Structure 1
Amino acid sequence: MMMRLPKEGYRTIEKIAGPLLFVNKVKGAGIGEVVRIVSNFGEDYGQILQITEELCVIQVFGETMGLSPGNSIVWLERDVIKIPLGIALQGRILNGRADPIDGEGPISCIEMWAPIQGNIINPWRRKSPNKFIETGISTIDLMNTLVKGQKLPIFTGTGLPANKLAAQIAKYAGTDASSNGKEPFLVVFAAMGITQREAAYFRRAFHESGSIYRGVFFFNLAEDPSIERILTPRMALTVAEYFAFERGYDVLVILTDMLHYCEALREVSSAREEIPGRRGFPSYMYSDLASIYERAGCISGLKGSITQIPIVTMPDDDLTHPVPDLTGYITEGQIVMDRSLHGRQIFPPIDVLSSLSRLMNKGIGEKSTVPEHRSLSDQLYAAYGRFKDLVRLKAIIGEEGLTPTELSYLDFGEKFETYFVNQKDKRRSLEETLECAWDCLLTLPKEELHRLPSYLIEEMSFKRGMKF
């Protein structure tokens, strides 16, 4: 963070509550301004959250243990929180304050410093997302397609392999096939409230795959001050905006876990003694989340784009919990992880019937992927939905009560889950995903493929030497 020489100092600390300092009679300060706190135990930095004529509320970035009104002085720095930007950030691992933690030394070749709050995108200049991003995951690429500029969250539950899925997307995601990989692509990965073990897993996964060199990574550990969790996603998005709109990159931002971010927000709100909203979360959490999610998009006249995949843990697998609930209102769809699929060791355990990409139609079709993309997706949805209904029926009347056509749906569903959904930790190109989809669908009778054109069915069955 860039700091200027201090201008004024105050010894009028009234009280300390958790990560907050309450200082009396501060003059000429503004919300968002950086302060420096000097005590007998050293110094730290903070940010002004609220100011009135009588009282100034300061959020401390470090620990407040040891601070007291008698041994501390608050200096106004007359600046806001800024982050250094430059092409040298690529391949680096930073903490929640944007300090390098990868042992590679300080960041060199800094081109500019930018406030982490970012700039609001003018709605008039927003460009509708219209290009495909290939994640390498079949259930997303074919059935819940990610489009450049989209906000597509992943809803997970406690104990589900969300971190593994996040790492897989970070390793394998890339620009759409129509660009032939010529458009520069970057992943900005921000992990909040993770353990040392999880951080080690991410480091190992990114280094082994080589994806460390095409990304910028932020790790906020659970042992770090929770206040840093509020800074981490904003720093990550400021880096993303630099690479997207200054350098022309297509940037994929992965934020995990937004539940940890919101819990830090609740901690600060509680320390400020604000009136709580649902489940103790602050009433302004919707607008706070929107200030993060709405930084995704494409801008007319600029080459780059920012696409977001926030990962949100649902406590007790509850979709109505405030964090996933508000996230769903702001974003454009959701990918839902399923506990029963995970119990059968299927990875990634994505429940396609509960998942949705609202912008999918903007990024698929003849000019983006393949002409039959929508038809294939619809047919898979219809067939898998029928399979789920027949599983419940089979539990009531037994397998002997089902017709041959209904039994073929059971074969399809088993193959779909164990072959199409269950791709393990490997990347599938769109072509491989399409082949897997056809292998599953051709287990059904021809007359059941009513969402696909007959000429396409004949062509694909002929290629496989099959006759209906």
Structure 2
Amino acid sequence: MQKEYKTITEISGPLVFAEVDEPVGYNEIVEIETPDGQIRRGQVLETTSDHVAIQVFEGTGGIDRESSVRFLGETMKMKLTEDLLGRVLDGSGQPIDGGPEIEPDKREDIVGEAINPYSREYPAEFIQTGVSAIDGMNTLVRGQKLPIFSSSGQPHNDLALQIARQATVPEEEQEGGESEFAVIFGAMGITAEEANEFMDDFERTGALERSVVFMNLADDPATERTLTPRLALTTAEYLAFEKGYHVLTILTDMTNYCEALREIGAAREEVPGRRGYPGYMYTDLAQLYERAGRIKGVDGSITQIPILTMPSDDITHPIPDLTGYITEGQIIIDPDLNSQGIQPPINVLPSLSRLMDDGIGEGLTRADHADVSDQLYAAYAEGEDLRDLVNIVGREALSERDNKYLDFADRFEAEFVQQGFTTDRDIEETLEIGWDLLSMLPKEELNRVDEDLIEEHYREETEEQVTAD
């Protein structure tokens, strides 16, 4: 039976406090009816034997002490069906695309359940994003959580769209080649202009047909942002573990999500942690990120790419710092590369995919993938170091060998990293470009590549052409 009260005692920011005469369940869904008949939804954020704190999703405007509070006796659930593919929903899971109401096959609690560690299957299959700096150097693996660290004004949204558009599991990576690929796109706190860009791209490229899009805009209530990623991940779990899809979940922008946590914490007058963020933010983020993975005996998988903008481009800020502890690497968007017109401006040196070694190699992508990646890293790092030296002594003071590494670094950025946001490269093309670049260097410098691979792939003519130039 629904319990109804008219006992609101305080309204503070996105929170409503009310007296109760018996305990109410944590996370229980609440309906608040204003005197003029409007219905606002919320959930119980804190509960004791005689009062509750209610987080209101649609904002507290119009709510006063005369409003009635109804406790529905259930937690927030997501309506789930395979027909969600191709749909656009708001940040609270309601359709906003003009389509029919959702007719669910089932409804699931959005909090989700942790994957039993014993049942987890270790991520080991390659996901091809079509982006050379990721596929070749920081490979994404099925079931992994690999965030993108960016900063304000950088084209991380363009990269997110490119990955959503191009990502696929190559047929040879699929067990039996039967699982389909789907994308869950959760946007939190984005502007209306960004939302229009996202939707135009999804519709123009046809990516929407295999996607479910959740849109929480900047002018939507901040508390709704705490729901959006959970609704998205609940949908991902349904498609992956019950329908057998390989699901790529892109969440942007996690910084806006964390700001919503800070706003709610301030309204609750909690003791703040680092830089004013709640002390439980690590646990909260872990609850989201750890919903990625694979389960033994289940065909589907959930791979996460959370995107966050680092305030002041500070990687030690609590949001990227805690995200880095929980996830398996990071892709770094570099403002300097962006200012040079490199698209996508991914700096491969500080970027990392901790599961890359398990997703590449013979029988997975190509036998030379690991060697090419290692050698490209080493050569580019040396070229970067020499750029600093050139600023001091000038290029004329460097040896012929050093000048080759400088040329390598320039071409690596211009040919390997640079590809634009519309170019889709398969892994074969990415590695062929890598060999073209490595062939600029003398064979004796390729000390991280197996000799048999050098004999098979090294382009002698490329070295002669570079010398002639």
Q: TM-score, normalised by structure 1?
A: 0.96
Partner of 1:189, secondary structure, is: strand
Aligned ranges for residues 306-317 of structure 1 at < 5 Å?
306-317=302-313
Partner of 1:126, secondary structure, is: coil
Residue matched to 2:413: 417
- 8 Å contact 1:10–1:26 — kept in the other structure? no
Do structure 1's residue 459 and structure 2's residue 456 form an aligned pair? Answer: yes
In 2, Cα distance between equivalents of 1:289 and 1:310: 11
Find the partner of 1:81 among 70, 76, 82: 76
Residue matched to 1:305: 301
Offset at residue 130 of structure 1 (A):
0.9
Task: State the aligned residue count.
Answer: 461
In 2, Cα distance between equivalents of 1:439 and 1:106: 53
Offset at residue 26 of structure 1 (A):
4.1
Offset at residue 107 of structure 1 (A):
2.2
Partner of 1:237, secondary structure, is: helix
Offset at residue 105 of structure 1 (A):
2.6
In 1, Cα distance between equivalents of 2:345 and 2:295: 34
Offset at residue 280 of structure 1 (A):
0.6
Partner of 1:94, secondary structure, is: strand
Offset at residue 176 of structure 1 (A):
3.0
What whole-Å deviation, never above 9, does each CA across 1:288-334 have from its counterpart, x for those lacking one? 00000000011111111101000011001101101000000000101
AA aligned to 2:124 is N
Partner of 1:27, secondary structure, is: coil
What whole-Å deviation, never above 9, does each CA across 1:107-144 have from its counterpart, x for those lacking one? 24x21111111111111111110100011110110110
Aligned ranges for residues 12-91 of structure 1 at < 5 Å?
12-41=7-36, 42-69=38-65, 71-91=66-86
Residues 1:10 and 1:293: Cα distance change in structure 2 (over 3 Å) = same
Residue matched to 1:7: 2
Do structure 1's residue 235 and structure 2's residue 211 form an aligned pair? Answer: no
What whole-Å deviation, never above 9, does each CA across 1:365-392 have from its counterpart, x for those lacking one? 1121111111111000000000001101
- 8 Å contact 1:131–1:176 — kept in the other structure? no
Partner of 1:389, secondary structure, is: helix
Do structure 1's residue 401 and structure 2's residue 397 form an aligned pair? Answer: yes
In 2, Cα distance between equivalents of 1:125 and 1:461: 44
In 1, Cα distance between equivalents of 2:445 and 2:91: 53
Partner of 1:412, secondary structure, is: helix
Do structure 1's residue 218 and structure 2's residue 214 form an aligned pair? Answer: yes
Do structure 1's residue 150 and structure 2's residue 144 form an aligned pair? Answer: yes
Offset at residue 179 of structure 1 (A):
3.5
Residue matched to 1:3: none
In 2, Cα distance between equivalents of 1:10 and 1:103: 35
Partner of 2:134, secondary structure, is: helix
Residue matched to 2:446: 449
In 2, Cα distance between equivalents of 1:327 and 1:63: 28
Offset at residue 462 of structure 1 (A):
5.2
Do structure 1's residue 138 and structure 2's residue 132 form an aligned pair? Answer: yes
- 8 Å contact 1:20–1:57 — kept in the other structure? yes
Residue matched to 2:167: 173
Q: TM-score, normalised by structure 2?
A: 0.96
Offset at residue 25 of structure 1 (A):
2.5
What is the root-mean-square deviation of aligned Cα atoms in Å? 1.4
In 1, Cα distance between equivalents of 2:30 and 2:458: 69
Offset at residue 17 of structure 1 (A):
0.3
Aligned ranges for residues 196-275 of structure 1 at < 5 Å?
196-275=192-271
Offset at residue 461 of structure 1 (A):
3.2
* Alignment gaps of 5+ in structure 2: none
AA aligned to 1:152 is L
Residue matched to 1:337: 333
What whole-Å deviation, never above 9, does each CA across 1:204-248 have from its counterpart, x for those lacking one? 111111111011111100111111100000000000000000001
In 1, Cα distance between equivalents of 2:267 and 2:260: 11
- 8 Å contact 1:171–1:209 — kept in the other structure? yes
Partner of 1:270, secondary structure, is: helix
- 8 Å contact 2:182–2:248 — kept in the other structure? yes
Dislocated runs of 4+, deviation >4 Å: 462-468
Residue matched to 2:365: 369
Partner of 1:98, secondary structure, is: coil
What whole-Å deviation, never above 9, does each CA across 1:352-377 have from its counterpart, x for those lacking one? 00000011111111121111111111
Partner of 1:351, secondary structure, is: strand
AA aligned to 1:408 is K
In 1, Cα distance between equivalents of 2:400 and 2:352: 31
Partner of 2:78, secondary structure, is: strand
Partner of 1:125, secondary structure, is: coil
Residues 1:463 and 1:214: Cα distance change in structure 2 (over 3 Å) = farther
In 1, Cα distance between equivalents of 2:462 and 2:346: 31
* Alignment gaps of 5+ in structure 1: 1-5
Report % sequence identity.
Answer: 52
